[in-house]
Amino acid sequence: MPFSGIYLNNTESGLYYCVCCNAPLFSSEKKYNSGTGWPSFSEAYGTCGRDESNTNIMRRPDNSLGSTRTEVVCKQCDAHLGHVFDDGPTPSGQRFCINSVALNFKPGSVCLFTVSVRRTQQFRNFEKHHMKTVITTTNLNQNGTKATRGVKQHK
């Protein structure tokens, strides 16, 4: 139901996660009031320009209810999240209308990460453009490879 979700009027800083698998989906930094009655975001968490390859969302056609729309689902578990439309604010022009029951919210803009030193170039590019390191530690894994654990913050 529009205008009834618990996150519609949430203005806290933080991340919105998939309620089914806990994948990070949207940042409060990209949330806005679209007036539609649904929590709305101008882009998915991890988007770089128009590139959504580092996000946890997928788009697919939805021809239900007698109209053609674009459904948004979680890339990790295929959970239905909502729909995306091309009438959002600049610069993205996107309006992700997401159902509150599909989300969990975790306040704060800091996220923990654990990654192998052999990270992909895409992940390094994403970090370079969107994140800054606050704390970093390096340990040896049980198999002898190096691992970095740290805290990153949105720039």
Q: Domain boundaries in the chain? A: 14-107, 110-154
Question: Residue 32 above 60 pLDDT?
Answer: yes
The whole-number pLDDT of residue 102 equals: 97
104: exposed, middle or buried (C-beta count within 10 Å: 0-12, 13-18, 19+)? middle
The whole-number pLDDT of residue 112 equals: 42
**Segment 51-76, tens digit of pLDDT:** 999 999 999 999 998 889 999 999 99
The whole-number pLDDT of residue 153 equals: 47
Question: What is each CA distance from 124 to 46, 131, 136, in whole angstroms?
Answer: 12, 10, 15
CATH number of the domain located at residue range(s) 14-107 in this protein: 2.170.150.20
Question: Residue 155 above 60 pLDDT?
Answer: no
Torsion of CA 106, 120, 122, 70, to 10 degrees: -60
Cβ-contact 104, 16 below 8 angstroms: yes
Active site residues: 97
Question: What is each CA distance from 83 to 41, 77, 91, 95, 108, in whole angstroms?
Answer: 11, 16, 19, 8, 26
Question: Residue 145 above 80 pLDDT?
Answer: no
